[in-house]
A and B are shown apart, each in its own frame.
Chain A
Amino acid sequence: MGTGSKKFLLSKGLDNYFIGVYNAYKFIGRFFKEAFKSPFHFREIINQCFEIGLKALPLITLTGFITGIVFTKQSRPSLETFGATSWLPSLISIAILRALASLVTALICSGKVGSSIGAELGSMRVTEQIDAMEVSAINPFKFLVTTRVLATTITVPILALYCGFVALLGSFVNINAHEATSFISFFEHGFDTITFLDIFTSVTKSIFFGFTIGIVGCYKGYNASSGTVGVGRAANQAVVLSMFLVFIEEVVIVQVSNWIRLY
């Protein structure tokens, strides 16, 4: 290797990495520029919201419910040691609403929605459908990317709230089987310890997650390289990258919200 006529600033890998970061930065910049200019394609945004919601709903229902049951089941023994099982509802609610619901939703949507956006835009790119829009004076970025990113940004928080609700339901089923607590008292206990900041942080987090999933899927798909290999790669990279970013954001946002909590 190394006899190529091309000179690299640092090394091939690093150069490509920084070019990639710069391109992603430009892509995100373009999104914000286009998002606030008419035409807004409201119908397409709503269509996409429904598409995304329907795609993820069954899996989120199932996963949320099971998470609720399992998490309650697993937490019970340690609380029993202290005779504190009455704290179960509040413990579970905190865990679910602060962390689990938004994270589970984001991971499911990365897999389900991120990959399908990556594959869809990727195949539109390689079959020249995106070029076809461009030559008929339609702005493909606006019609395809802006609408999808807005749709994920709107839909993922809603799905996360729904996921939290279903998980609490799962938890209630388990608790009810053991302690015969009523539905109302379960929720009263649960929400005792939940503050506005918890909900606010959770929704904010989901908004970031939704944006990330949309923008990563679109970026990978929109810039897919030619051939069917390119489509597969776009879908795959969309999932891997958005999951990675979701975890990083989770850590950062939790840290920031803890600072806010302190002051």
Chain B
Amino acid sequence: MQSDNHNDIIDRDDAVISIRGLYKSFGALDVLKGIDLDLHKGENVAVLGRSGTGKSVLIKILVGLLMPDAGKVNVLGQEVDKLKGKELDALRLKIGFSFQNSALYDSMDVRRNLEFPLRMNFKSLTKKEIDKAVEEVLDAVGLLDKINQLPSDLSGGQKKRIGIARTLILKPEIMLYDEPTSGLDPITSVEINDLINDVQRRYHTSSIIITHDLTCAKVTANRVAILLDGAFLKVGTFADVFATKEERIQSFFNYNFIT
């Protein structure tokens, strides 16, 4: 997908995620120092930033895996850090989280990996319905032929795609991708980028895409946000941010192109 409709999305007032003044530290280490961000319905936002700047921490807070120290984190109209038990689970079902290292259940084959979240959450589904759902998401990520393989027999890119399929099976409204293209060759990266765009179109998701990969950000995101020293330095369309004269942003881009 080419980014044809960037600007009209920004002005809409329909945030599915809204973060205000988010702080998070681990002991003496301040990781996030005042984050503000809105994710609008149907939009893809890429968060760019160097290793260890707290990108994973940011999206883990969004699903309640980590607790914020201060600030408001509103996801689909609910304050995540105030939710517990069933309410939190209900919200989590609407969010797909694709882990940096795929986090596939390595004791289960691909089919069981995909079935697992369905079986556990929707006891009333029949075998037929589950099979159908599994085949549908596997088809969406283009890996129908791997259905009986164990995760250990898959390549890194295939694992990433199965990981994405496992989140899609719950039909999420929001997708959070943690470095979907890291550690993959350029061609496989392009496939993942296409998949992310495909998911946006097919499932009408809004997504946050964490990445180091400028191509990925450029191709998949309606907006990009540069995370530096615990805060966003700049948020805007890729072209906007790219054109910024700010030295720290430029060095980020340059560094990326050299290596």
Asked if A136 meets B99 with Cβ closer than 8 Å, knowing A5-B28, A127-B106, A129-B105, the reply is: no
Given the complex of chains A and B, what is the CA–CA distance between A250 and B197 in angstroms? 61
Point out the residues of chain B lying under 8 angstroms from A137, CB to CB: 89-90, 92-93, 117, 120-121
Point out the residues of chain B lying under 8 angstroms from A136, CB to CB: 92-93, 97, 116-117, 120-121, 166-167, 170
Point out the residues of chain A lying under 8 angstroms from B121, CB to CB: 136-138
Contact of B97 among A123, A132, A138 (CB under 8 A): A132
Residue of B nearest to A142 (CB): B120
Asked if A127 meets B101 with Cβ closer than 8 Å, knowing A5-B28, A137-B89, A137-B93, the reply is: yes
- Tell me if B106 and A129 are in contact (CB < 8 A): yes
Residue of B nearest to A143 (CB): B120
- Tell me if B105 and A135 are in contact (CB < 8 A): no
Given the complex of chains A and B, what is the CA–CA distance between A245 and B104 in angstroms? 34
Contact of A132 among B89, B93, B99, B170 (CB under 8 A): B99
Point out the residues of chain A lying under 8 angstroms from B103, CB to CB: 127-129, 131-132
Residues in B89-126 with C-beta less than 8 Å from chain A? 89-90, 92-93, 95, 97, 99-101, 103-107, 116-117, 120-121, 123
Given the complex of chains A and B, what is the CA–CA distance between A207 and B121 in angstroms? 32
- Tell me if B117 and A138 are in contact (CB < 8 A): yes
A134 at the interface (CB under 8 A from B): yes
Given the complex of chains A and B, what is the CA–CA distance between A115 and B97 in angstroms? 31
Residues in A108-128 with C-beta less than 8 Å from chain B? 120, 123-124, 127-128
Residue of A nearest to B92 (CB): A137
Q: Binding site of A, secondary structure by majority: helix, strand, loop or mixed?
A: helix
Residue of A nearest to B100 (CB): A128
B22 at the interface (CB under 8 A from A): no
- Tell me if A135 and B97 are in contact (CB < 8 A): yes
Residue of B nearest to A41 (CB): B120
Nearest CB on A from B56, distance (A): 10
Count of chain A residues with Cβ under 8 Å from any Cβ of B? 16
Contact of B99 among A123, A124, A131, A143 (CB under 8 A): A131
Nearest CB on A from B130, distance (A): 15
Residue of A nearest to B108 (CB): A129
Residue of A nearest to B121 (CB): A137
- Tell me if A134 and B65 are in contact (CB < 8 A): yes
Residue of A nearest to B63 (CB): A135
Residue of A nearest to B60 (CB): A131
Given the complex of chains A and B, what is the CA–CA distance between A132 and B98 in angstroms? 9
Point out the residues of chain A lying under 8 angstroms from B166, CB to CB: 132, 136
Residue of A nearest to B105 (CB): A129
Chain A positions 37 through 50: 1 when the CB is less than 8 Å from some CB of chain B, otherwise 0:
00100000000000
Given the complex of chains A and B, what is the CA–CA distance between A124 and B167 in angstroms? 18
Residue of B nearest to A128 (CB): B103
Most chain B C-beta atoms within 10 Å of own C-beta, residue among A124, A128, A131, A143: A128
Residue of B nearest to A123 (CB): B106
Given the complex of chains A and B, what is the CA–CA distance between A128 and B99 in angstroms? 8
- Tell me if A138 and B63 are in contact (CB < 8 A): no
Residue of B nearest to A120 (CB): B107
Chain B positions 42 through 68: 1 when the CB is less than 8 Å from some CB of chain A, otherwise 0:
000000000000000000100101000
22 residue pairs bridging A and B, Cβ less than 8 Å apart: A5-B28, A120-B107, A123-B106, A128-B99, A128-B100, A128-B103, A129-B103, A129-B106, A132-B105, A135-B65, A136-B92, A136-B93, A136-B97, A136-B116, A136-B121, A137-B92, A137-B93, A137-B120, A137-B121, A138-B116, A138-B121, A143-B120
Minimum-distance CB pairs A-B, first 3: A137-B89, A136-B117, A132-B103
Question: What is the interface of chain A, defined by CB distance below 8 A to chain B?
Answer: 5, 39, 120, 123-124, 127-129, 131-132, 134-138, 143
